[in-house]
Amino acid sequence: MSQYKVLVADDNASDRLILSTILRKQGHLVVQAANGQEAVDLFDAEKPHLVLLDALMPVMDGFEAARLIKRLAGEDLIPIIFLTSLKDAASLAKCLDAGGDDFLSKPYNRVILEAKINATQRMRQMHETLQKQRDQIAENNTYMLQEQRVAKAVFDNVAHSGCLDSPIIKHLLSPLAVFNGDVLLAAHKPSGGMHILLGDFTGHGLPAAIGAMPLAEIFYGMTVKGFGMTDILREINMKLKSILPVGVFCCAGMVDISFWKRTISVWLGGLPNCYLLRQNGERIELASNHLPVGVVDHRAFDDNCYQYNMEPGDRFYLWSDGIHEARNDLDEMYGEERLEALFDHTEDHDLLFDRINDDVNEHIKNSAPDDDITMLEVLMVDESEIREEQMVVKMGAVSGPTDWSMSYKLGPTTLRDFNPLPLLLHQLLEVPGLRPHSGTLYTLLAEMFSNALEHGVMRLSSDLKVDPMGFAKYYQMRQEGLDNLTAGFVEFCFEHTPTAEGGSLLMRVIDSGSGFDYGDDGVVKAGDGNFHGRGLRLVASLCKYARHRGAGNQFEALFEWQREI
């Protein structure tokens, strides 16, 4: 049986004695008071679990004492049981009105007394448990909000940054939670132009925000290093695919703007249709034609982009589904029609962005928003208007190796089973201006290398490749030749020089073969031809020039790159 501390207040000494004796026999501790005032004082000092109050007492009666005790107890529930010989309903009701939790009639019945003590103590304990849990929840909540505030500060620095404050960009982000799942990133490219990315992660809050970190890091990291949009998207897709659980992904749109070429490339995966708005009012609608990022693995990732010319004054609009799905109090979505109507009826395009914002907010004013609303407008301007802003970025990126040369010679053992191309490409991409051309450079290296290896070192004849049998034979001989290679070499020589417009990369591949008579100047022309020689013509069409040199065992190609501003 549980032991409680019980405060007994009764002006009648013998009644008090009887009750105290019963309580002690039942194992409780007893504190005695002879009137209401004493009861209140002792309550404060002794902190009993239960108060038994006679209703009628001198100095201060039980009703007044009950009120004061309840006030002293504050949030705690200390049950009060009135002791009374009163029998009429009104008096008993008055006991409960004064704050009593129950009453006990004199003379005392010890069974009922014990039962009432237990009942009220169960109440008190339940109340205590609730209080503890409530306090725990409140504390956890405070802690969580504190954590979220810190995390949000980090998140905002990461997810909504870059050159979003550029005068050609208008953007809107309405956070639904402390975190939202929307990401808006913009960065100047070192070669001029700008990358913009709008992402909408599935879900809200922390799970949605966490994916934004690597996304933003890749976006900024690769943009500043000069990588192209499709390389960045591939990298982001691969990263998100590997870290996000199945079912969490990012609907995204990415834009690559060149102010110099006045073009825009757009990749859309899972976002609502976006608009290109011409200055003359013509509106071109671009539909998402890709899966969101983080869904398919890198082999299935599709990086085809829309390409458009943009004249100064043309605008591009990108948004998450928050706008289309914004609901009013009648549960109607804002929808595409309203949006189209605004586009069709706003003559002054400068006002359009704010109109959309106002109209959507007007639509949802009486209801709680249920998705994040993120929207962006970017204005094409003449290159000169943005040049100053871009110069700041460019200064940093032009550094890096610009005047250098190197050569790399591979002997037979290395040629047998080592692929030098990734290593060489990596070296070339140290030049920031070459990074947007990584795909082309790889092709150039690969074609020149296989030409030197197959026709130079191993002296295979392309004539074999005219029919399927020959094709197979050719590659069979190539493999055998490699397996048994004991002599020969391929040497790569590179020379990079800065030019007024950017830079030029001279590539020369020399092989140990005996060469051939290439006739007059050895220049290889782009254009179509037969089955063989296609590789070198491909090189020629990607380069400023390409030609055979020396005894025909050297091949030289010049690749030039231009700054965009």
Partner 1 sequence: MSIWASASQDGRSLTINIEGRFDFSAHQDFRESYEKTDAEPDEYCVDMKQTSYLDSSALGMLLLLRDHAGGDSAKIKIVNCNADVRKILTISNFEQLFTIQ
Q: Which residues bind partner 1 (CB under 8 A)?
A: 230, 298-300, 302-305, 439-440, 442-443, 446-447, 450, 465, 467-468, 471-472, 475, 478, 526-528, 531-532, 534-535, 537-538, 541-542
d(CA 340, CA 120): 67
Report how far Cα 53 is from the mean position of its chain's Cα atoms: 63
What are the residues whose beta carbons fall under 8 Å from the beta carbon of 286, sequence distance 6 or more?
266, 268, 273, 274, 275, 276, 306
Provide, rounded to whole angstroms, the least separation between the CB of residue 536 and partner 1: 8
Minimum distance of partner 1 from residue 422's CB (angstroms): 12
Q: How far is the CB of 559 from partner 1 (least distance, A)?
A: 14
For the bound state, the minimum distance from the C-beta of residue 239 to partner 1, rounded and expressed in Å, comes to 17
- The distance of closest approach from Cβ of residue 290 to partner 1 in the complex, given in angstroms and rounded to an integer, is 11
Among 565, 437, 457, 464, CA closest to 509: 457
Work out how close the CB of 546 gets to partner 1 at its nearest, in angstroms, rounded to a whole number: 13
Q: CA–CA distance from 10 to each of 15, 54, 181 (Å)?
A: 7, 5, 66
Least distance in Å: CB of 477 to partner 1?
Answer: 12
CB of 281 to partner 1, least distance (A): 31
SS3 333: strand
Rounded distance, CA 64 to CA 60, Å? Answer: 6
Q: Based on CB atoms, which residue is closest to partner 1, 514 or 530?
A: 530
Sheet containing strand 315-319, edge to edge, reads 169-174, 373-379, 315-319, 274-277, 283-286
Least Cβ distance, residue 490 to partner 1 (angstroms): 16
- 451 CB contacts (<8 Å, ≥6 apart)? 509, 535, 536, 555
463: left (phi over 0), alpha (psi -120 to 50) or beta: alpha
Element containing residue 188 per DSSP (H, E):
strand 182-188
For residues 349 and 532, which CB has a smaller minimum distance to partner 1 in the complex? 532
Residue placing its CB nearer to partner 1 in the complex, 467 or 501: 467
**Which of 192, 436 has the CB closer to partner 1?**
436
Q: Which of 202, 181, 179 is nearest to 294 (CA)?
A: 202
> d(Cα 258, Cα 274) in Å, to the nearest integer?
19
Choice between 86 and 446, CB closer to partner 1: 446
Question: Which CB sits closer to partner 1, 519 or 527?
Answer: 527
Q: Which is nearer to partner 1, 134 or 298 (CB)?
A: 298
Which one, 357 or 450, has the nearer CB to partner 1? 450
For 259-277, give one letter per residue: b (16+ CB within 10 A) or e: bbebebbbbbbbbbebbbb
Residue 169, H or E segment:
strand 169-174
Q: How far is the CB of 471 from partner 1 (least distance, A)?
A: 6
Shortest distance in whole angstroms from residue 537 CB to partner 1: 8
Please give the Cα distance from 343 to 169 (Å, whole number): 18
**Rounded to a whole number, what is the distance in angstroms from the first to the last CA of the chain?**
88
DSSP line for 543-554: SSEEEEETTTTE
Cα separation of 14 and 420, whole Å? 106
The residue (of 305 and 318) whose beta carbon lies closer to partner 1 is 305
d(CA 491, CA 473): 27
Spatial separation of the C-alpha atoms in residues 547 and 482, rounded to whole Å: 26
**Which CB, 25 or 299, lies closer to partner 1?**
299
Report the C-alpha gap between 141 and 494 in whole angstroms. 61
Residue 175 Cβ vs partner 1, minimum distance, rounded to whole Å: 35
Residue closer to partner 1 by CB (options 148, 450) is: 450
Residue closer to partner 1 by CB (options 192, 535) is: 535
Residue number with CB closer to partner 1 (69 or 448): 448
Q: What one-character-per-residue DSSP string does 271-318 give?
A: PPPEEEE-TTS-EEEE---BPPBTSS-TTT-----EEEE--TT-EEEE
Closest to 83 measured CA to CA, from 92, 74, 72, 70:
92
Q: How far is the CB of 305 from partner 1 (least distance, A)?
A: 7
